[in-house]
Amino acid sequence: KTPYVVTSKSYTAVAVNCAAKTGEWIKSRLGQHKSLHIKSSLHDLVTEVDKGAEQMIRKLILTHFPQHVILGEESVEPGSEASKRALEQAQEEEYLWVVDPLDGTTNFVHGFPFYSVSIALAHRGEVIVGIVYDPMRDELFVAEKGKGAYVHGNRMQAAPESKLSESLLASGFPTERDRALPGNLAGINALAPQVRNIRTAGSAALHMAYVAAGRLTGFWELNLNAWDLAAGSLLISESGGRITDTFGKPYHLGVRDVVASNGLIHDAFIGALKDGNAQG
């Protein structure tokens, strides 16, 4: 059982409590979802569990911080244009929570036990708290700006590999296949011959948490949304890793084509994507 109790009104405590409670509830619904709908395409699914999880998180956050604004995946119209617009409207807010209530819906629907709850708090557009929770393994990844990144109390450090040839990478197949799949496949073509291996396990937020924990050397994906990346971005930067767009420009909430790594392989990683014409 997850032993978290909110003892103060700190942002991190509330975020941890939200992620833990919501994650436990999602896990209790595994194999039992009742509705399955298609959003923007046949690759883009939603269940009542995604929506219920977002409602739980909203309620908990607003109980503690009624003035704050929440950008949550299931409250935005499907498709990347609508997400870009929603982010543009929200990102100037003083305190903005960026929430993916269930990252890895396809896995959840199929009973593939790899999905997460991702919660970030941004202050005037800069992520200051990032939480990713994996209820299947009861693993809680927490980062606070300037204070490091931890998995269940142990400080995380990005992986030591310094060469692409020693690297284990991850990626994902984007929901809007027409928009991003060619670049994504070009990236796999370019990198597969050069690295130890590539995983696509189906939760961008957990992939990023694994880069922070040193379990993956790097991760890239095209056309992701702010809620997929916000929490993981702080885990990466606070664990000594590096996170940029596919051209090497620093991460901000509007970045959709992302490259995250331990830092050591970053330039070579981007170089390989460039050579493979895979920058999106």
User: Could you tell which of ligand IPD, Ca ion, none binds residue 104, using a CB distance below 5 to 8 A set by kind?
Assistant: ligand IPD
Footprint on residues 45-64 left by ligand IPD (CB under 6 A):
none
Could you write out the DSSP letters of every residue in the chain? -------S--HHHHHHHHHHHHHHHHHHTTT----EEE-SSTT-EEEHHHHHHHHHHHHHHHHH-TT-EEEEGGGS-SSHHHHHHHHHHHTTSSEEEEEEEEE-HHHHHHT-S--EEEEEEEETTEEEEEEEEETTTTEEEEEETTS-EEETTEEP------SGGG-EEE----SSHHHHHHHHHHHHHHHTTTSSEEE--S-HHHHHHHHHTTSSSEEEESS--HHHHHHHHHHHHHTT-EEEETTSPBP-TT--SEEEE-STTHHHHHHHHHHTT---
Residue 202 near ligand IPD by CB under 6 A: yes
Residue with nearest beta carbon to ligand IPD: 172
Least gap, CB of 174 to ligand IPD (angstroms) = 5
List the Cα angle 104/265/236 in 5-degree steps. Answer: 45
Least gap, CB of 173 to ligand IPD (angstroms) = 6
User: Could you tell which of ligand IPD, Ca ion, none binds residue 224, using a CB distance below 5 to 8 A set by kind?
Assistant: ligand IPD
Count, residues near ligand IPD per rule CB under 6 A: 14
Least gap, CB of 47 to Ca ion (angstroms) = 10
Enumerate binding residues for Ca ion (CB under 5 A).
Answer: 73, 100, 102-103, 228
The CA distances from residue 215 to 115, 162, 167, 268, in Å, are 16, 14, 10, 19
Least gap, CB of 71 to ligand IPD (angstroms) = 14
Residue 224 near ligand IPD by CB under 6 A: yes
Residue 78 near ligand IPD by CB under 6 A: no
Between 156 and 231, whose beta carbon lies closer to ligand IPD?
A: 231
What x/- string results for residues 90 through 109 when contact with ligand IPD is judged by CB under 6 A?
Answer: ----------x--xxx----
User: Could you tell which of ligand IPD, Ca ion, none binds residue 258, using a CB distance below 5 to 8 A set by kind?
Assistant: none
Between 209 and 268, whose beta carbon lies closer to ligand IPD?
A: 209
Q: Which stretch binds ligand IPD (CB under 6 A): 12-20, 74-82, 200-208, 257-265?
A: 200-208
Residue 203 near ligand IPD by CB under 6 A: yes
The residues with which 118 forms a beta bridge, in sequence order, are 100, 132
Binding residues for ligand IPD (CB under 6 A): 100, 103-105, 172-175, 202-204, 221, 224, 228
